[in-house]
Chain A
Amino acid sequence: MTAARWLVRRLLLTVVVMLGAATVAFAGLQLTPGDPARVILGSTTPSPEQVEQVRHELAFDRPVPVQYGLFIGRLAKGDLGRSYQLREPVGALIGDQAWSSALLALTGFATALTAATVLAVATAGRRPALRRLSMGLELIAISTPGFWVGALLLTFFAFRWHLFPVAGGSGPEALVLPSATLALGLVGVYAQVMREGMERALDEPFVLTARARGGGETSVRLRHALRHALIPLITISGWSVGALLSGAVVVETIFSRQGIGRVMAAAIASRDLPVVTGVILLSALAFSLINMAVDGLYRIVDPRLRESAL
């Protein structure tokens, strides 16, 4: 299968996934108890006429299949509706926040990936003392909850040493502590997966051959072993980046950052259903695209996969 055909097929599949996510979100809306019209009108006891008017405006008085059709039709045009609470278009509301979340997730991921690569290349199959120390620290990093790490980092780097802002902010220095918190949670897993992959690759005959050609230790590791260790790593990073994009709630809350996670938490608490739907769709889209990127990366890293079908 050629790369172009593969891409078209994956994009079509993405559309199907989005449709599925939209349908689930719509069903969730229908099944949630309570009248959305009353949520929109707020805490003041509205008159039945007001409620009826809102219901009519939003087509809540039409049969469910018609509502579903209207909902999908609006989505197809890119209209996610308006927030009940903030009275703003959901698209604009989420868009602002999504950028902040994506930035955090990507810097966290990149930091973790870099650190894990250095650890794995330095300790896979050699330097037993350093390897043991690194593995011990990785285990601690994996088992420490993010909120505690975040609090510790804040205590020392922000409150005591004033190196970084305590909360909010938009410059790059505001990104350091939150992304470090995220990275610490990931680096342990990444380093272990990579080290294991590299150690398996270093036992292969092609590594012996590379050494027999006069390759130095570093070049053997970087040119040969690392690429084989990337395959399991890509699998696990696809999952973890997707999870970061849609759910860095804890870190965003601790560092008082804007972000999708916080928008989602607030929307659920106040039953702001269009916003919830929007976040669900955004997460579905993010996961679909990341999965596509992951499958594409497999094909780049391992040429043997290029010939096999989907």
Chain B
Amino acid sequence: MRGDQGTDPKDAPPAEGGALLAVENLRVSFGSGGSRVDAVRGVGFTLRARECLAVVGESGSGKSVTARALLGLAGPGSSVAAGRLELEGEDLTRAGDRRWRELRGRRIGMVLQDALSSLDPVRTVGAEIGETLRNHRTVPRQARQDRVVSLLKRVHVPDPGLRARQYPHQLSGGLRQRALIASAVAADPAVLIADEPTTALDVTVQAQILDLLTAMKAAGTAVLLISHDLSVVARFADRIAVMYQGAFVEEGPAEDVLGSPAHPYTRRLLAAVPGVRRRGARLAPSEPGGDLAGITTACGYAPRCPLAEARCREHVPPLVAIGPAHGARCWRTDDEEPAQTLDTAVTGRGRRDEAVIEVSGLTKAFRGPDRRHRPAVEGVSLTVHAGETLGVVGESGSGKSTLAALVMGLLEPDDGSVRFLGEPWSRVPEPSRRSRRGRIQLVHQDPLASFDPRYTVERIVGEALGSPGRRAVRRRRDQITELLHRVGLDPALLTRHPRELSGGQRQRVAIARALAPGPDAIVCDEPVSALDVSVQAQILDLFVDLRDELDVALLFISHDLGVIHHISDRVIVMREAVVVEAGPVEQIFRDPRHDYTRSLLAAVPRPEARTDTTPTH
């Protein structure tokens, strides 16, 4: 499983200054010869007790591989080498398989993203937590069950005795994540590695999980937090390392990295976070562009960097000290980026003043497993005008997606009505709706699942132009190319299949498909939730541009308040099937009336608002 560890086993002294984990020049690569991929290229850091180091980067930057290599679990076909890899003074570069197994879970624990797939679905939560105790024999067998319950209690799971007997799918996302954390810390490891521990969670649940991790840190655990989201990290990390293409490009105390970022990539990541300050500005400045894959440069970021010079493409930049314990691998840390001016006026709300979607008193109930009817949407009324974005925000289970299906005319309401372009849209026979179907379009969270995997990009977009069949699609190539151009895709992608595209490219294809019939309204159901912050920024910019150019009405559903704030003109807040608050975006965010809205806003992590919120545990 593990590759060859340790090319340079030197007799290291005991860890200095209480460092629990010390890493120098960690390198991980996959494959060999021509197909060799260097995933981690010389990473080094130290981690002390009661300290959190956050590693931030976009997907593919090597942060998860780094985390796994620290557990000796880099995966099949990997080769790991480190100048130094010490856990509590023990040299791990020379550890054998047996020693690694003794350490995992006992001295160093790991929590992964998405507890639903990270806990074995066919075993009870208690069995999963108990497994750590069983592997390391920390408690006698008879006491194991009691320890499991007390561990669940420690991570604040209510009714721990019952929860221990349940299966992961019977728990809510937040409870599952807590149970996963309990299984990772069951044998009291000194170091906890958390790989995107809050990414799939609602904001309030996310805040609770971060509080739990904060309490563990205060109790003495050293935490290595991996995330793509700077705003999550801001709340919790003591130090931040920004990772790009397998190397740390900037590292320093959290305040310094967030407050005065030195590396152009860090600045871009910060700028990409949609939030209160950034409203009306572009999130993703245009890049020099070009084919990134073909260029090999000394500084990995040079092809995307607006400040790149000749030397950036020839030599690896040295680590430049910026402040105490704050450094960046860049020559141009002092230079500001050229200011990006807005090329379109973003404030174009209700220009045509024409109501595209009118919903009044909409109600829909579903029968639950206990055969009781539960409303998914109850008495919802809203109007979306041309060229306007109505944001729908709420946590999972609040009825947002049911609302989307009702507005799309994919579900019939139990009560209330939907009107589209001034004519009845709900409760009319499908044939009378069919001619108008193309004028309201849907963009999903997961574009991959909404594409036929056997179709090419050309055919996916072409079918939406209203001419099914391979030959008809070919005749429309000009139109298809123009649509791809409009969403910022290279026409060279026409012959690709969805699997061969990146997440951002897929979502662009989904948007091109939605635009193909010339819609008056687009319903967007969590369209950016599955994307990295930097890609999310580009897609949000694209939505704003398209709305303003085409005067299309957007019904934009998201659980992310930052996203909603950035893109919406008006907002409705949903909770348990009902709208608890509605109004213009500035009013909702500046002066929320409803307690629920206030609690949502309070839970939002913001990079710019880093305060000392260390809970008193």
Residues of A bordering B, CB below 8 Å: 125, 204-206, 208-217, 219, 223-224, 227-228, 301-304, 307
- Closest chain-B Cβ to A204's Cβ sits at a distance in Å of 6
Residue pair B112, A213 in contact (C-beta under 8 Å): no
B243 within 8 A of A: no
Given A214-B106, A307-B369, A209 contacting B122 (CB threshold 8 A): no
- By a CB distance below 8 angstroms, the chain B residues around A208 are 68, 73, 112, 118
CB pair A213–B122 under 8 Å, yes or no, is: no
B101 touches A215 (CB 8 A): yes
Q: Are A227 and B122 in contact (CB under 8 A)?
A: yes
Known: A303-B167, A304-B167, A307-B369. A212 touches B121 (CB 8 A): no
CA distance A90 to B353 in the complex (A): 85
With A125-B76, A213-B104, A214-B105 already in contact, the answer to whether A206 and B136 are too (CB < 8 A) is: no
Report whether B121 and A206 are in contact in the complex, using a CB–CB cutoff of 8 Å.
Answer: yes
B132 contacts A by Cβ under 8 Å: yes
Q: Are B121 and A224 in contact (CB under 8 A)?
A: no
Binary interface encoding of chain B residues 172-196 relative to chain A, with 1 for a CB under 8 A from any of its CBs, else 0:
0000000010011011000000000
- Check if B131 is an interface residue, CB within 8 A of chain A: yes
Q: Once the chains bind, are B167 and A214 in contact (CB under 8 Å)?
A: no
Instruction: Please determine whether A210 and B121 come into contact, CB atoms closer than 8 angstroms.
Output: no
Assess the B180–A209 pair: CB atoms within 8 A.
Answer: yes
Across the interface, which residues of A come within 8 angstroms of B106, CB to CB?
214
B114 & A205 in contact (Cβ 8 Å cutoff): yes
Number of A-B contacts defined by CB within 8 Å: 81
Distance (Å) between the CB of A205 and the closest chain B CB? Answer: 4
Interface residue ranges of B203-226 to A (CB < 8 Å): none
Of all chain A residues, the one with the shortest Cβ separation from B127 is A223
Which A residues lie within 8 Å of B105 (CB)?
Answer: 212-214
Point out the residues of chain A lying under 8 angstroms from B131, CB to CB: 210, 213, 215, 223
Q: Within the assembled complex, what's the spacing in Å between the Cα atoms of A227 and B104?
A: 23
- Residues of B close to A125: CB separation below 8 A: 76
Q: B117 — which chain A residues lie within 8 A by C-beta?
A: 204-206
Cα–Cα distance between A209 and B106 once the two chains are bound (Å) = 13
24 CB contacts below 8 A, A to B, read A205-B112, A205-B113, A205-B118, A208-B68, A209-B120, A209-B183, A212-B71, A212-B73, A212-B104, A212-B109, A212-B110, A213-B104, A213-B105, A213-B184, A214-B103, A214-B105, A214-B187, A216-B101, A216-B135, A223-B123, A227-B122, A303-B121, A303-B122, A304-B167
Is B419 in the interface zone, CB < 8 Å from A? no
Other-chain contact of B136, A212, A214, A303, A307 (Cβ < 8 Å): A214
7 nearest A-B pairs in the assembled complex, by CB-CB distance = A214-B105, A212-B110, A213-B105, A214-B104, A214-B135, A213-B132, A206-B120
- Is B102 an interface residue, CB under 8 A from the partner? yes
B174 to chain A, nearest CB (A): 18
Given A209-B120, A215-B101: 8 more A-B contacts, CB < 8 Å = A205-B114, A205-B118, A208-B68, A212-B110, A215-B131, A219-B135, A227-B123, A304-B121
Q: Which residues from chain A contact B118 at a C-beta distance below 8 Å? A: 205-206, 208-209
User: In the complex, what residues of A have CB within 8 A of residue B183's CB?
Assistant: 209, 213
Q: Compute how far the CA of A214 lies from the CA of B72 in the bound complex, rounded to whole angstroms.
A: 11
Q: Which B residues are within 8 Å of any A CB, using their own CB? A: 1, 68, 71, 73, 76, 101-106, 109-110, 112-114, 117-123, 131-132, 135-136, 167, 169, 180, 183-184, 186-187, 369
For residue A207, which residue of chain B has the nearest CB?
Answer: B120
In the assembled complex, which residues on chain B have CB atoms less than 8 Å from the CB atom of A307? 369
Residues of chain A with a CB closer than 8 A to B132's CB: 213-214
Bound-complex Cα distance A216 to B103 (A): 12
Q: With a CB–CB cut-off of 8 A, which chain B residues contact A216?
A: 101, 135
Chain A residues in 8 Å Cβ range of B113: 205
For B67, the closest partner residue in chain A by CB is A212
> Cα distance A125–B73 when bound, in Å?
15
Chain A residues with CB under 8 Å of B121's CB are 206, 302-304
CB neighbours (8 Å) of B109 from chain A are 212-213
Measured CB to CB, the closest approach of chain A to B390, in angstroms, equals: 36
Docked complex Cα distance between A304 and B122 (Å): 7
Residues in A with CB closer than 8 Å to B136 are 214
Chain A residues, CB < 8 A from B120: 206, 209-210, 224
Taking the closest CB of chain A, its distance from the CB of B151, in whole angstroms, is 13
- Are B135's CB and A215's CB within 8 A? yes
Most A CB contacts (10 A, CB to CB) among B113, B122, B187, B369 go to: B122
Complex formed: what's the CA distance from A206 to B42 in Å?
29
Q: Give the residues in chain B near A206, CB-CB below 8 Å.
A: 117-121
Set of chain B residues within 8 Å of A227, measured between Cβ atoms? 122-123
Give the docked Cα–Cα distance between A209 and B184 (Å).
8
| Minimum Cβ distance to chain B for residue A270 (Å) | 51
Closest CB-CB distance, A2 to chain B, in whole Å?
12
Q: Are A302 and B101 closer than 8 Å at their CB atoms?
A: no
Query: Contacts of A224 on B, CB cut-off 8 Å?
Result: 120, 123
Contacts of B71 in A (CB 8 A): 211-212
Chain A residue with Cβ nearest B107:
A214
Residues of B within 8 A of A304 (CB): 121-122, 167, 169
| A209 and B104 within 8 A (CB) | no
Residues of B within 8 A of A212 (CB): 71, 73, 104-105, 109-110, 184
Instruction: Looking at the assembled complex, report how far the CB atom of B137 sits from the nearest CB atom of chain A, in whole angstroms.
Output: 10
Q: How far is the CA of A228 from the CA of B187 in the complex (A)?
A: 27
**Complexed CA–CA distance, A203 and B491 (Å):** 35
B104–A211 touching, CB < 8 Å: yes
CA distance A140 to B166 in the complex (A): 44
Whether A209 and B112, one on each chain, are in contact in the complex, defined by CB atoms closer than 8 angstroms, is yes
Q: Which residues of A contact B114 (CB under 8 A)?
A: 205
A217 to B73, CA, bound (A): 12
Closest beta carbon of chain A to B167's beta carbon, Å: 5
Closest Cβ of chain A: how far from B166's Cβ, in Å?
9
Query: Taking the nearest CB of chain A, how far is it from the CB of B100, in angstroms?
Result: 8
Contact B110 A209 (CB under 8 A): yes
**A209-B119 contact in complex given A214-B135, A215-B131, A304-B167, C-beta closer than 8 Å:** yes
B184 engages A214 (CB within 8 Å)? no
B76 touches A302 (CB 8 A): no
Complex Cα distance, B136 from A206, in Å, reads 19
- The one of B73, B102, B122, B167 that contacts A228, using a Cβ cutoff of 8 Å: B122
* B110 / chain A contacts, CB cutoff of 8 Å: 209, 212
Minimum Cβ distance to chain A for residue B148 (Å): 13
Output the least CB separation between B234 and chain A (Å): 26
> Within 8 Å CB of A302, what residues of B?
121-122
Inter-subunit contact A214/B102 (CB<8 Å): yes
> With a CB–CB cut-off of 8 A, which chain A residues contact B184?
209, 212-213
